[in-house]
């Protein structure tokens, strides 16, 4: 598995749990879950882009 796939799967699972336990209506749950998913993936990609310049 690639790192991106693992990160995306983790973001999906966490966003699903956060959406289920944190909001009242189904529409709010779906919207919040999608928002959390996009934020997790976005922050992960931004960190990867920033840290790419450092040597291994």
Residue 9 — very low, low, confident or very high, per pLDDT cuts 50/70/90?
Answer: very high
Distance CA 15, CA 32 (A): 8
User: What is the pLDDT, as a whole number, of residue 33?
Assistant: 94
16's CB contacts (< 8 A; 6+ apart) are 33
User: What is the pLDDT, as a whole number, of residue 16?
Assistant: 95
44's CB contacts (< 8 A; 6+ apart) are 7, 11
Are the C-beta atoms of residues 20 and 9 closer than 8 Å to each other?
A: no
User: Which is nearest to 22 in space by CA: 41, 35, 7, 11?
Assistant: 35
Instruction: Quote the pTM value.
Output: 0.86
In this predicted model, what pLDDT tens digit does every residue of 11-41 receive, in sequence order? Answer: 999 999 999 999 889 999 999 999 999 999 9
């Amino acid at each position: 598995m690639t790192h991106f796939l693992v990160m995306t799967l983790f973001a999906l699972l966490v966003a699903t749990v956060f959406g289920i336990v944190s909001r009242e209506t189904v529409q709010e749950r779906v919207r919040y879950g999608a928002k959390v998913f996009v934020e997790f993936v976005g922050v992960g990609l931004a960190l990867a882009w920033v840290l790419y310049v450092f040597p291994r």
